[in-house]
Amino acid sequence: MHDKHLHHRSDLVRIATRAMAERGLEPEFSSRVEHQVAAITGPGNEADPAIRDLTHLLWCSLDNDDSLDLDQLTVSEVLAQGKVRLWVAIADVDALVKKGTPIDEHALINTTSVYTSARIFPMLPERLSTDLTSLNFNEDRLALVTEMVFNADGSLAGSTVYRARVRNKAKLAYDAVSAWIDGDAALPAAAAAVPGMEAQLRTQDLIAQTLRVRRHAEGSLELETFQPRAVFEGEEVVDIRQQVQNRARQLIEEVMIATNGCTARYLAGRGGASLRRVVRSPERWLRIVAVAKEYGETLPADPDSKALEAFLAKRPKADPLRFPDLSLVIVRLMGSGEYVVETPGGPPIGHFGLAVRDYTHSTAPNRRFPDLITSRLLKAALADEPQPYSNAELVELAMHCTRQEDSAQKVERRMRKSEAALLLESRLGQRFDGVVNGSTDDGVWVRIFSPPADGKLVEGDGGLKVGDKVSVKLVGTNVERGFIDFVLVG
């Protein structure tokens, strides 16, 4: 099986656009949206005295190298007795995107930005998401700020939420900052240009690692997901690279988990409903127990995140080669996340994978519609106004956002397969080392190491089991369908 002609980036864009439509997502903005965007003259700007001026603080953004839709800024202050004050600013997208407007209606349909290597399908028009509602370098922007104080052990001493005006002093990227934290590179120039920013980053890294240790002690799961990204030079795919977890990504992950918890508790404290992101206690726990038994570990009969984390914590060192595949198995058995509505006095659900009780999505309103909903709920609570959504509306939105986010993830996974097929289509007949990462009635699947890609073994799969190392030869690719075919070699 092989396509008749070599493909290019434009083919991936076409395939992604079709996959979006097939999943009920809208890849393009309507003329009504374009007209609304054209009428917007500048970033949100209000004269409300309740909006604090925090533009003097040493805010910085930390994201992927190519990210232009900046949702959050952070800044910290060292206090007495080892305490740390941490501010997190989240873009006030609602200042320009009001409920019920054409832009909002488009965002409601997709509910999320869809990221493929060939093209990004943004939830909001790029003039907003990468400019007027993005927390861009050296620009004043309206934001919702969560101010937290942590004790030296990482426990939360207190928090508050309010509106503010902020200014990004340094646009930073994960990999460069992480290399500096690890001592492998100099402080990035954008940070070195700002007096005091180096100390800022050290403090934020320290509190993030403290929070991380604390969460894992509570049973937060450490998983390594397989999410390779295609690298382009012009129209050509030249490589596929696995995104590596590092200290800078951990910094933002921990800070955002803390912020989302504070947001959820703030809304609950005001007596209103909130949209929570949950992963329920796994119904297929006994299957997880069986998987652990294959590795010589015994898990309790009832779901226990601490016990599962203790098992998973051993595996990266014991068998780093196969840990991504074990992680994928556990993720699938745990079940996918979903949005639910939580009302005061209602049953608590929580997030099993993160080992947190209170968790909402509030930190990426340029990219996710549930975060925009939460932003509106927060602003209404701060202004002592009625909630902008009824409980019935929120329940319907929770189900819709869950469905659409699942569709978006399927599009992204589908495109990773086509990207890998495109890179490999000129390498028919070559041999690769890999590991068996799947075995069903439909066949055996192999993950090759370089480039990182998955394919099906179409010949010579007898007796193989998941985890076996193999050498394979590439015999077919289909970019349109995202298929890669291997045969076993000696």
Q: What is the CATH number of the domain that holds 466?
A: 2.40.50.140
My answer on whether 291 and 249 are in the same domain is no
For 88-120, how does the pLDDT look when each residue is reduced to its tens digit (9 = 90+)?
Answer: 999 999 999 999 999 999 999 999 999 998 899
For 293-350, how does the pLDDT look when each residue is reduced to its tens digit (9 = 90+)?
Answer: 888 888 877 777 777 777 777 777 777 767 777 776 777 676 677 888 888 766 665 5
In a domain, residue 248? The reply is yes
For 42-78, how does the pLDDT look when each residue is reduced to its tens digit (9 = 90+)?
Answer: 999 898 999 999 999 999 999 988 888 999 999 999 9
Helical segments of 270-347, H only: 285-294, 305-318, 323-334
Give the model's pLDDT for residue 348: 60
Give the model's pLDDT for residue 280: 64
For 444-487, how does the pLDDT look when each residue is reduced to its tens digit (9 = 90+)?
Answer: 888 888 888 889 998 877 778 777 888 999 999 999 999 999 99
In a domain, residue 190? The reply is yes
Q: Kindly state the tokens that stand for 157.
A: 């001493």
Per-residue pLDDT, averaged over 193-217, amounts to 92
Q: Is the pTM of this model over 0.85?
A: yes
Highest mean pLDDT among 275-289, 355-369, 394-408: 394-408
In a domain, residue 2? The reply is no
Q: How far apart are CA 387 and CA 347, in angstroms?
A: 21
For residue 94, what is the DSSP state? G
Is residue 149 helix, strand or coil? strand
Mutual orientation of helices 323-334 and 285-294 as an angle, nearest 10°? 160
Give rounded-to-5 percent helix, strand, coil for the chain: 40, 25, 35
Is residue 45 helix, strand or coil? coil
Q: Kindly state the tokens that stand for 175.
A: 């990999």
Q: How far apart are CA 132 and CA 412, in angstroms?
A: 26
**Domain C-terminal end among 363, 398, 421:** 421
My answer on whether 441 and 367 are in the same domain is no
In a domain, residue 347? The reply is no
* Domain total of the chain: 3
Query: Residue 114: which region, alpha, beta or left (left: phi > 0; alpha: psi -120 to 50)?
Result: beta
Per-residue pLDDT, averaged over 198-220, amounts to 88
Q: Which residues span the domain enclosing 459?
A: 427-489
In a domain, residue 326? The reply is yes
Helix (H) or strand (E) holding 158: strand 156-173
Instruction: Report the amino acid identity of residue 398.
Output: A
For 265-291, how does the pLDDT look when each residue is reduced to its tens digit (9 = 90+)?
Answer: 899 888 888 888 877 666 677 777 877
Q: How far apart are CA 344 and CA 381, in angstroms?
A: 14
For 223-260, how does the pLDDT look when each residue is reduced to its tens digit (9 = 90+)?
Answer: 556 667 778 777 777 887 877 778 999 999 999 989 98
Peptide bond into 451 cis (omega under 30): yes
Residues 6+ apart with CB under 8 A from 372: 93, 94, 97, 104, 107, 365
Give the model's pLDDT for residue 17: 96
Q: How confident is the model at residue 355 (pLDDT cuts 50, 70, 90)?
A: very low
My answer on whether 23 and 134 are in the same domain is yes
Cβ–Cβ < 8 Å for 103, 128? yes
My answer on whether 47 and 193 are in the same domain is yes
Across the chain, mean pLDDT equals 87
- CA-only gyration radius of the chain, Å: 23
My answer on whether 461 and 441 are in the same domain is yes
